[in-house]
Amino acid sequence: MALFPLTSNFEGDFVLQLLAVDSENTMDEVAAAAAVHSVGRRVRARPGQLMRVRRQGSEDFLPRSMRVSESGLKPTETIEIIWEAPKH
């Protein structure tokens, strides 16, 4: 349990933002924390869609239940939070 700073790059928003999470947060929790600073402020919510986390430059999302401490992310590294439509 430790405070862990990341840099949030939220899909549709215009700026990178400092994001304080906990090293034991899951990627779903990280995405929700990032959304606090973008969704409803400058980005419209997309009901029914998931918010997924990936490293900048990667096409692959990190597993939703993966913890920050297991992800290999470095402090202040930039993550992208991407909307994902539900799979049918």
Partner 1 sequence: MAVLNRMDWYDLARTTNWTPKYVTEDELFPPLMSGAFGLPQNAWEKYDEPYKQTYPEYVKVQRDKDAGAYSVKAALERSRIFENADPGWKSVMKAHYGAIARGEYAAASAEARMMRFSKAPGMRNMSTLGCLDEVRHGQMQLYFPHEHVSKDRQMDWAFKAYDTNEWGMIAARHFFDDIMMTRDAISVSIMLTFSFETGFTNMQFLGLAADAAEAGDHTFANLISSIQTDESRHAQIGGPALKVLIENGQKAEAQKRVDIAVWGAWKLFSVLTGPIMDYYTPLEHRKQSFKEFMEEWIVAQFERALTDMGLDLPWYWDIFLKDIAQTHHGMHMGSYFWRPTVWWNPAAGVTPDERAWLEEKYPGWNETWGECWDVIIDNVVDGNMAMTYPETLPYVCNMCQLPILGTPGKGWNVKDYPLEYNGRLYHFGSEVDRWCFEQEPERYAGHLSIVDRFLAGMIQPMNLGGALNYMNIAPGECGDDAHNYAWAEVYRAMRAAKKAS
Cα 82 to Cα 27, 43, 68: the distances in Å are 12, 12, 17
Buried b vs exposed e over 15-32: b needs ≥16 C-beta within 10 Å?
Answer: eeeebebbeebbbbbbbe
Residue from 22, 43, 46, 69 touching partner 1 (CB under 8 A): that is 43
Contact status: 72 vs partner 1 (CB under 8 A)? no
Shortest spacing between CB 68 and partner 1, in angstroms: 15
Contact status: 85 vs partner 1 (CB under 8 A)? no
Q: Which amino acid does the sequence have at 49?
A: Q
Residues in contact with partner 1 by the rule CB under 8 A: 5, 7, 9, 11-20, 36-37, 40-44, 56, 74-78
